[in-house]
Amino acid sequence: MGWKLLADCAIQRMIYGARVISLWDSELWTLLSALAVCLVLLAMVRIAINKLGLFMLSFFVFFSLAWRLLSVLYIDLAGPVFSEQLERDIGTGWAALPLAGSQGLVIAALMYSFRKKRLAALTSGPTLADILPAGRPTPSDLAHWVIGLFAVALWVELLIRGPIPIFAAMERYDYSAQYGGPLHHRLIEWGPMLAFQLGVFFAAPSSRGREFDLRFAVLFGIFILYLFVVGHRFSSFFSYSSFFILPVGAVLLANTTAAFDYAKIFRAARLPIAVVAVLILGALIYSYAIVRGFERDQLLFKLSQRIFVQQGEMWWITYERVFLRADWSPGQTFYKLFVNPLDPNRNSTMQWLMELALPLDRAHFILGKGSAYTGGWPEVLFELGGPVEGVALVALSAILFSEFMFLLTRCIVQERYATCFFLTPLLYAFSLYVVTGMVNSFIQFTFLVKLMTAIFVFVAEEKWRSSLSGPLISCESLAAGEGGKRLE
């Protein structure tokens, strides 16, 4: 009897010790996750302080990644929390740790691509103003008139086609489906890319020591006001503003020799930033409280889900499946992404992730309405490669993205307007990929056509600039060789 009692006590102590060790391990991993999140966020803050241009250039990606990272950390620490969209509890765990590592690879790739030696070479060579003959209309003048006419026609279309959503308490989806005209649909489809073009013409003059072209800032404000009137909320304002300031960041990055007055920039940007912030807040309150009619408690619940849970819930599901249950299928994932997606014209990544996370009927119903959940990157890479090969895929995608952004920066700074125009669809595809994981756009024939066209335009524009600058350089060299004066 005594031996049995001693054995029972020993077993109980072993179980208790195992629980303590397990609890200690769990707390250790949670601490490491929180530390990794802090390091990634601090890296972004340091870039914003020391390399404001790079921060503005990558703001669309940085903001999305930071929001998702904080959401996943919240799920880890506060879990289990209820997810309205998944209709289940998620958390706890240390899902933030591999996500922070993935985002850290993106930051490291950007820092390497935009190192000082490469930035110093951006401003070498003649500017477009030096090449073009004086007195002729510039590409900026032509773009101002074309985009201005489009803006006027867009507002006229809004006024003559039906009710105005902001006054009729109408959702933007309903307006687009029932009343939106062809110009409205073109703006919704191409709006962020149009905002980028506006940013290019706005910022390019400052790369040669002139003031920003405020005409394009006014046009951008007109489009932002239009989005507010037709019922758009945070996501549209965020994406449009991010793509508009991207070329400004490129110009700041190239300005490595002259001292840039950041205080002046901040003073000039205070009012526009405040106006956009008020529009975003007003649009959110109006949409949730007036259009959808949520009461106070329901409104708070919806906002908490939108801010704290929905950004990270899809990554947590991938973490649970791949890292905890070792359940991934590269072949099936490849098939659903590239061979037989539910809708090949939309983001096949989110379609597949939603099919994995939800009952098929519910996933197809939501996707059939034109909606999709938030996430996709780096979930799709770990679904393809698992916890080990997935890291290599993350690193490869980070390098490709950062090198493309450097190429785009070079074209902006050197005022290669034609190349910038044809690189814009590729920029949108790369940016969406890092935020939403959309990979099927890269295998479409239209993407290949856009890529080949951009390469052709880049080469043609380079030859055109060389043909214009060649005679000027040879004359100067001749004058210098003969000891003559430089031709002005």
pLDDT in tens, 211-255: 788 899 999 989 988 988 887 777 788 889 999 999 999 988 877
| pLDDT at position 257 | 45
> What does the alpha-carbon distance between residue 307 and residue 67 come to, in Å, rounded to a whole number?
8
Q: Give me the residues of the chain with pLDDT under 70, please.
A: 1-26, 123-137, 207-209, 256-273, 275-296, 468-488
Instruction: Sort 400 into a burial class: Cβ within 10 Å, 0-12 / 13-18 / 19+.
Output: middle
Please, what is the angle between helix 234-254 and helix 379-413, to 10°? Answer: 50
How many whole angstroms from its chain centre is CA 452? Answer: 24
| pLDDT at position 125 | 58
| pLDDT at position 480 | 39
Assessment of whether the complete model's pTM goes beyond 0.85: no
Measured between its terminal Cα atoms, the distance across the chain in Å is 110
| pLDDT at position 228 | 84
| pLDDT at position 174 | 76
| pLDDT at position 116 | 87
**Which residues make Cβ contacts (< 8 Å) with residue 90, sequence separation at least 6?**
75, 79, 80, 81, 83, 309, 313, 316, 317, 320
| pLDDT at position 212 | 81
| pLDDT at position 291 | 57
Phi, psi of 247, deg, nearest 5 = -65, -30
| pLDDT at position 162 | 77
Torsion angle in degrees (nearest 10) through CA of 383, 385, 388, 389 = -150
User: 467 to each of 73, 131, 139, how far by Cα in Å?
Assistant: 56, 9, 18
